[in-house]
Amino acid sequence: MTLHAAASRTAEGPVTRFAPSPSGHLHVGGARTALFCWAYARGRGGRFILRIEDTDQKRSSEAASVGFLKDLRWLGIDWDEGPEHEGCGGGTHGPYFQAQRLPIYEQHLARLLRDGTAYHAFDTAEELAAQREAAKARGAAYRYDGTAARALPADEVERRLRAGEPSVVRFAAPPDPVTIRDEILGEVTLPAGEIDDFVIRKADGFPTYHFAVVVDDELMGVTHVLRAQEHFNNTARHMLLQDALGFRRPTYGHLPLIFNPDGSKMSKRDKDKVLRAAVKERGLTAPPSLGQAGASVAGASGADAAASATPSQADFSAWLKDKSVQLPIEQSTALAETLGVALPEINVDDFRRSGYLPEVLCNFLALNGWSPGNDLERFDLEFLRRNFDLSRVLKTPAKFDRAKLLAFNLDSIQAMSIDDFERRCREHGEAFHADFMARLSPAQFRALCEASHPRSKTLDDLFRSNRFLILPDDALPWDSKAAAKLLAPGGAGEAHLRALRELLEHAGEWTPAALEAVIKPYADRDAAGKLGDVAQPLRLAVSGGTVSPPIFDTLAILGRSSVRARIDRALARIGR
């Protein structure tokens, strides 16, 4: 690629890319990188490319790739070029999965080998481990010494390759200082000799991240590379490769990391840490039966679905012993639900399951590392597209304030019309609470939305707080402490329940207004006007707890038959 061609591409607008490794759902840090890349290109008439870096065969999976695509589309981030998904993708620079681009990498690798700027190295794992130990014993940082490998005669290299001896290809890094000019962090120079001869093709024949990303950025016309600061040291390696291949250097901008409020890095392992502690606290040494939780997470029903979300004994034991091991997301989610453990949201899909709105999450992520100025905090994607600029990206780590995000979400939900709230809740329920949606009629669900809207902070609140609505009448659990007080034999709660049972039996219409017309006069007459004294034992009897939607709405949604059955069961409990 000539400098003239690169300049002409820049004149058409910047080209950015987001290139995740498909090893699970999209981390919110990666989502923010994609968001900034999208906004920078789209706001300047450029192109945004999505590329899947799946050359690590041990960590990559097709399912994870699809998960990434769904997460981005849910956020409202579309791409001009990349894998085709829901109307996005395609393009002239594909394939967009690196594992499908091996012949392209081989061409450029062969050129480096011919030029002598790359070489085969036959070191065994044991030899490399011994070198690391020797460096450690000297108190020195380990650096690969490629002197012997570089000196191997060409005929010996060829003989060993024909014999099938495993080898990697290393880049012969020149011993020169490397200056990185970063649009966010400024200019930094790495001293001469800082970069050793790093691997650019692994023994399995796949290129490393360093080599593939350099080739793809050039061939796809990427002009601006925006990525997390943890990649900053990699940039020097990439610049050396670009020089050796005769490629142009893109403009770089390294984004601040996202930390937890306590200053720790926001990591996917945070969920396993919380879950592992809960498992050990309960003394579990084997995976519990996940039952309905496993089936729900798997998106199906039956024993087979539950089993798919249950870790094997061997996997469960390995996970307990090794903090670096992570359970697959389906297994960790089902296990947490079974144990009643709330896991911290880390991935985009976590926030979606928890009922956050995509527009709110995008707004909040943009504020984690970028400032629009003028103390502005609430804006949409269109505002971000028009106004995003690297000059206002922060250099220091951003802290993820979950309380603030929840407040943002609450405000946005409360600003919705009831029709919009119902639509969004229905979509959320169909995606994550199929059992709930199957048990309620459209009229019941509408009534529940009307009753829940004023107190909902997330879309999931409606489902999580009202599970009692879909439980069988004869399997409703009661809060034991509340039951001891409100359902005591001979107490006021029993008297109110018996009286209300009779009144409700003869109620005409079964609507909130009609039920209020039956119950409130009774409270005025027999409870000194204290509706709460009457409503609480009734609420406990029909919902199992002391918190539910307004009592008249709760009764109307449950329906006459369930209310009667639940009151009778509560009275039978009192009579035992």
User: Are 166 and 122 within 8 A, CB to CB?
Assistant: yes
268 is catalytic: yes
User: Are 366 and 384 within 8 A, CB to CB?
Assistant: yes
CA atoms within 13 A on the CB side of 176: 12
Angle at 532 between CA 527 and CA 533, to 5 degrees: 45
Q: How far is residue 118's CA from residue 171's CA, in Å, rounded to a whole number? A: 4
3-state per-residue secondary structure call for 263-300: CCECCCHHHHHHHHHHHHHCCCCCCCCCHHHHHHHHCC
Which among 285, 279, 269, 283 is positioned nearest to 341, based on CA atoms?
Answer: 279
Looking up tokens 């209310």, which residue turns up?
A: 563
Query: In sequence order, what are the beta bridge partners of 49?
Result: 17, 81
Burial class (CB in 10 A: 0-12, 13-18, 19+), 129: exposed
User: Are 366 and 385 within 8 A, CB to CB?
Assistant: no
- Residue 287: how many other CB atoms lie within 10 Å: 22
User: Are 146 and 119 within 8 A, CB to CB?
Assistant: yes
Q: How far is residue 168's CA from residue 201's CA, in Å, rounded to a whole number? A: 6
Contacts (Cβ under 8 Å, ≥6 apart) of 240: 171, 173, 174, 178, 195
Task: Choose the catalytic residue: 268, 404, 457, 485.
Answer: 268
272's tokens: 């396993």
Contacts (Cβ under 8 Å, ≥6 apart) of 479: 540, 544, 545, 546
Q: How far is residue 64's CA from residue 525's CA, in Å, rounded to a whole number? A: 62
Sign of CA dihedral 124, 128, 129, 134: positive
245's tokens: 């291949």
Residues with a catalytic annotation lie at 268
